[in-house]
Amino acid sequence: MSKKGRNYSNPKEIAKFVIEQTPIGLLDSSLKSLKVLLKEEVLKSPEILKEIKLYKENHFMAIPVTVNEVSTNVIISSINKDSDEYYYDQGKKIRFKLNARNEVEKIEEYESKNETRKAIEKKLIQYIEKYYNKNYINYNVYYDSIVDKIHIILSGQITNDKNFISGEWLSTWELDLNDKKVAGGIKINIIYYEDGNVQFNFAKKYETRNNGRDDESIADELISFVEKNENEIQKKLEQSNENFSDVYIKPLRKNVSIIGEDMNWNLDQIQLSKNQNK
């Protein structure tokens, strides 16, 4: 029994653990490996299908949704999901559900008439075009009418099997339209998995107030806050990469000798050198 209370002699608990720990972009390969180890009915069980959906929600994964014969990617998460299990992309004017097999169903037209949300999405699109690679970024601006809040989700994900790298940049921001409070956070997860794995994980939260007086100024101030903090993190990451060896590697290794050469630890040669110097 693990500290989390999981029984790892149970095939379903093994599958749940593997899915939960899988880096972004490698879920399909993890499921293929599990099919070799476990019976297929285990992976088709409601518990495991639910775990797969939870994994996708936690990583803000974008899934294809076909509307009027046109396929578009929509982020699924607990943020843009309502109490009836509908996922929303109000910018694309749709909502939908996932059935028990995690297949898209009940696609419906849905339009949010909140003008502040529209103004924020417009500014966000301009921001994304300026800073992000369009091939790897998905976004969602969701207005929750029940609590009168606007949520921004930015999900940048990339997997490069050839170079054994997987990474994600997850950025979420929330504006409370009642008290004008802004709360946000940035998470970065990167893994290099050739011959083992090296992981980098980063998370930071932010808070401020939005003093905008109309939709345009509210949107400007909010996206400027996102831009300031994301650029600050990007700059620090670039500086950290430049100094990675000095800051992180040298403290973990023995220093070389003052002449810059490795010490010769061969005892026979050290003894011979002493005899020759007598």
φ, ψ for residue 61, nearest 5 deg: -70, 145
Question: Are the C-beta atoms of residues 212 and 185 closer than 8 Å to each other?
Answer: no
pLDDT confidence bin for 192, thresholds 50/70/90: confident
What's residue 252's pLDDT? 53
More confident residue, 87 or 276: 87
CA-to-CA distance for 55 and 96, rounded, in angstroms? 18
What sign does the CA torsion over 90, 93, 99, 103 have?
A: negative
pLDDT confidence bin for 232, thresholds 50/70/90: very high
Question: Are the C-beta atoms of residues 117 and 90 closer than 8 Å to each other?
Answer: yes
- The runs of H, that is alpha helices, within 102-245 are 115-131, 215-242, 244
Is the confidence at residue 31, as pLDDT, over 90? yes
What's residue 270's pLDDT? 45
The residue type found at 129 is E
What's residue 172's pLDDT? 98
What's residue 195's pLDDT? 75
Q: Tell me: the pLDDT tens digits for 98-129?
A: 999 999 999 999 999 999 999 999 999 999 99
Question: Are the C-beta atoms of residues 48 and 30 closer than 8 Å to each other?
Answer: no
What's residue 1's pLDDT? 46
What's residue 73's pLDDT? 96
Beta strands in 39-180 (DSSP E): 62-67, 70-75, 87-89, 94-98, 104-109, 137-144, 149-160, 165-176
End-to-end CA distance of the chain: 64
What's residue 49's pLDDT? 97
Mean pLDDT of the chain: 88
pLDDT confidence bin for 257, thresholds 50/70/90: low
More confident residue, 184 or 164: 184
What's residue 177's pLDDT? 97
Q: Which domains does the chain have, with CATH numbers?
A: 11-109 (3.30.1140.60), 115-247 (3.90.1150.210)
Is the confidence at residue 54, as pLDDT, over 50? yes
What's residue 128's pLDDT? 96
φ, ψ for residue 172, nearest 5 deg: -130, 145
128 token code pair? 């994304």
Q: Which of 101-110, 129-138, 241-250, 266-275 shows the lowest per-residue confidence on average (mean pLDDT)? A: 266-275
Is the confidence at residue 262, as pLDDT, over 70? no
